[in-house]
Every structure is written in C-alpha cells, then in structure tokens.
Amino acid sequence: MHVLAIDTSTPVVTAGIVELTTDAVRVTAASTASRTRAHAELLAPEVQNLLRRAPAGIAAIVCGIGPGAFTGLRVGMVTAAALGHALDVPVYPVCTLDAIAALAGPGPFLAATDARRKELYWAVYGVDGARVAGPDVGAPDAVRAVAAEHGITRILGDGVLDGEVLACDPLGLVRAAESAVRANTEPAALTPLYLRRPDAKEPAGRKRVSR
C-alpha cells in the first residue's frame, strides 16, 4: 500500500510517497522542491508529481500537524484535508516532533525545533521511542531543565541546543502513524498543534485626537 506524506511546518516542503509492505516501510518518491517558505506555491505541484509516481493510487495520507510556523503549517494541513476528501482516503495527523523521533532509534531523547521568538518547540521520548512529555513551547533554559528532569542527555531536532540534526521526512511521518495506517483505524481529528495563542491585543481606551 502506498501512502502520501505531507509536512509544511518547517521552511521546506516535505512530501513523499511511502510504500508499506508486510515487513517494511520505504520511500518510493520524495519532494525535490528547493525553494523554502513557498509552501502555498510549491506543495500542490509537488503533490501532483508525486501522485503520478503512485499510479495505483494511495490508500491514506499522513500529515504533519506541527508544531511549526502557523501559515506554512496550514497550507499542508488544508491540502491534506482536501486531498483526503477528494480522493476519499483517510488523513492521519502526526505531531511533527514525533516524525523526527521516529527516525531517531531507541530513546530516551528530547526532540526540539526552533519556535522563533527565542523559544523552542519540544517533546520528550522514552526508551521505546514513545512520547512521554510535550509537545510544548518554551525558552531554551526551560527546555534544558525538562531534559535534565527526565535524565536525558540526547537532544535532536533542527540543531537547537547543540543537538543532533534530524529533519522531519516522509519516512518519519509514516512511521509515526504506521500502526494506525496499517490497522486502517478512524483517524484522529486533523487539528494543528499551534501551542501559542494568536497575537492580538484588545484595544485600550479611546485615543484622544484633539489636543
């Protein structure tokens, strides 16, 4: 069975066709888009090319739901949701940090990515690689404290906190959702992990215009 994997929570367009056989998971085609932060433009043509590489069709879609930059994240999610609707296939949500963790081998470790505004997105994974804390967002010192609290020395992600660099990719996305995809279970709701409230301030009292 072939699965389309999409994630747009990072600056690059992550998309690929992943084949699940009885005993293996392998990527058969992956996005080659090189422009960053151009998800709205590039994701659709990439997906169009990828779907041509799966002539027998896809059985499911796996979609990264962040945490990540909001605007880009939404492009991937609305694309996955519309594709799922139009192709009548289930769309499985995956926390983007879980997709990274699925590539990391045995735990324990902490996955962290740049959340901008001098903060990090993070999650903690146990010995079996399952998430035990997070996802959440916090200052680097607070995230270091979380790692220490869990007795973790291995940090991975996009290079923050001097950790190993390991990026979300189609393989990680599908591995993170593998059991649900294989069992064809009802997908969880496709809800983004924003982890932050929208920036908006209620207006203060009226400003005077006359002196």
Partner 1 sequence: MIILGIESSCDETGVGIAELDADGSVRLLADQVASSVGQHARFGGVVPEIASRAHLEAMRPTMDRALAESRLALSDVDAFAVTRGPGLAGALMVGVGAAKAYALALGKPCYGVNHLAGHVAADTLQHGPLPSPCLALLVSGGHTQLLLVEDLAGKITELGSTIDDAAGEAYDKVARLLELPYPGGPPIDKLAAEGNPEAIAFPRGMTGPRDARHDFSFSGLKTAVARWVERAEVAGETVPAADVAASFQEAVADVLTMKAVRAAREYGIGTLLISGGVAANSRISGLAAQRCAGAGIELRVPRPRLCTDNGAMIAALGAALVHAGVAPTAMDFGADPAMPVELISL
Note the residues at the interface with partner 1 (CB under 8 A): 38-45, 47-48, 51, 70-71, 74-83, 85-87, 192, 194, 198-203, 206, 208-210
DSSP string, 164-185: EE----HHHHHHHHHHHHHHTP
Q: Give the residue with the Cβ less far from partner 1, 40 or 161.
A: 40
Q: Give the residue with the Cβ less far from partner 1, 118 or 201.
A: 201
The residues pairing with 64 across neighbouring beta strands, listed in sequence order, are 94
Cα(188)–Cα(193) distance, integer angstroms: 13
**Could you tell me the smallest distance in angstroms from the CB atom of residue 208 to partner 1?**
6
Q: Give the residue with the Cβ less far from partner 1, 74 or 154.
A: 74
**Could you tell me the smallest distance in angstroms from the CB atom of residue 87 to partner 1?**
5
Residue found under tokens 């301030």:
201
Residue 77 belongs to what H/E stretch? helix 70-87
Q: How many CB atoms lie within 10 A of CB 16?
A: 23
Write out the two tokens for 66.
């962040």
Q: Give the residue with the Cβ less far from partner 1, 118 or 206.
A: 206
**Could you tell me the smallest distance in angstroms from the CB atom of residue 201 to partner 1?**
7
**Could you tell me the smallest distance in angstroms from the CB atom of residue 42 to partner 1?**
6
**Could you tell me the smallest distance in angstroms from the CB atom of residue 78 to partner 1?**
4
Write out the two tokens for 187.
């997908």
Q: Give the residue with the Cβ less far from partner 1, 25 or 89.
A: 89
To the nearest 10 degrees (0 to 180), the angle between helices 70-87 and 39-52 is 30
